[in-house]
């Protein structure tokens, strides 16, 4: 049986008691739509946080299967899912529906590319980065800047992480900060370099909260920084991002060149 939101009185009362959020933001959040690209480490934690908080619609895309060596850093999955080699989106959908059946969950077992991105992202209010490669992130950046759609970038390897919220037309975009994806030899994967689960969940919490601010209509509270963390050494760096890069102009948000989106 699917419950309406009103049939679970008080479910979100401790969220709405936070004055800066309140019933108005909660209502907007419950009507909002989000896309999480990749439901591994970051994406699985973010998806769970958004669903527990009451997001109205959540779409997940991932082409991978649950793997036992990854679940130390991934929410939503267990050893049985790994033994069955279940698609991550299928296992995630089952778990998320059990957490909050008032949220609509839509899944696609595929990889995001320039051919399907408009179909998957064209009807959502925010795109959340759960990917593991910069080529896909630059594709998301191109699409979101072109369509003026907010998105949240994040990445974790070892115990080092970075996160950045992008509001096209107001903030810098990913290409303002990084002209092109780093060469593969300088962008080690979690398989090669390792990764600690608490580092992933910590950054996913920041990423999820930034997405909530966007979906709840609290854009004035988003972080104006690129945040970089070394959670092993307990250090943080904040890089102020006042707006789009203009000297020289950013090729994406400044000049309107979308080379990762267009052939």
- What is the 3-state secondary structure of 93-144? HHHHHHHCCCCEEEEECCCCCCCCHHHHHCCCCEEEECCCCHHHHHHHHHHH
CATH of domain 11-240: 3.40.50.720
| Mean pLDDT to the nearest integer, 21-38 | 97
Q: Tell me how far apart the terminal alpha carbons of the chain are, to the nearest angstrom.
A: 46
Tell me if the pTM is above 0.75: yes
pLDDT in tens, 185-201: 445 555 667 899 999 99
Per-residue model confidence (pLDDT) at position 7: 42
Those residues whose C-beta lies under 8 Å from the C-beta of residue 92, and which sit 6 or more positions away, are 39, 44, 47, 60, 62, 76, 77, 107
pLDDT in tens, 30-89: 999 999 999 999 999 999 999 999 999 999 999 999 999 999 999 999 999 999 999 999
Instruction: Domain ranges for the chain, please list them.
Output: 11-240
Identify the CA nearest to 55 among candidates 38, 41, 35: 35
CA distances from residue 93 to 58, 103, 184 in whole angstroms, order as listed: 10, 11, 32
pLDDT at 144 over 50: yes
Positive or negative, the CA dihedral 100, 104, 109, 111 is negative
């Amino acid at each position: 049986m699917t419950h309406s939101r009103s049939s679970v009185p008080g479910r979100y009362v401790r969220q709405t008691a936070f004055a800066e959020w309140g019933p108005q933001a909660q209502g907007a959040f419950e009507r909002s739509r989000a896309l999480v690209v990749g439901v591994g480490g970051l994406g699985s934690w973010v998806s769970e946080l958004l669903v527990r908080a009451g997001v109205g619609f959540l779409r997940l895309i991932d082409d991978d299967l649950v793997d036992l060596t990854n679940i130390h850093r991934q929410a939503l999955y267990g050893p049985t899912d790994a033994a069955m080699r279940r698609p991550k989106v299928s296992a995630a959908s089952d778990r998320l529906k059990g957490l909050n059946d008032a949220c609509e969950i839509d899944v696609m077992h595929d990889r995001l590319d320039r051919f399907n991105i408009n179909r998957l992202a064209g009807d959502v209010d925010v795109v959340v980065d759960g990917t593991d490669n910069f080529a896909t992130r630059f594709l998301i950046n191109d699409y979101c800047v072109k369509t003026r759609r907010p998105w949240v970038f994040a990445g974790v390897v070892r115990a080092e992480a970075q996160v950045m919220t992008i509001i096209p037309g107001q903030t810098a975009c990913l290409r303002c900060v990084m002209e092109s994806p780093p060469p593969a030899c300088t962008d080690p994967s979690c398989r090669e370099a390792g990764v600690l689960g608490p580092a992933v969940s910590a950054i996913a919490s920041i990423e999820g909260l930034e997405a909530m601010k966007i979906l709840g209509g609290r854009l004035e509270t988003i972080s104006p920084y690129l945040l970089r963390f070394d959670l092993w050494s307990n250090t943080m760096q904040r890089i102020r991002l006042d707006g789009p890069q203009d000297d020289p102009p950013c090729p994406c948000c400044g000049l309107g060149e979308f080379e990762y989106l267009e052939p």
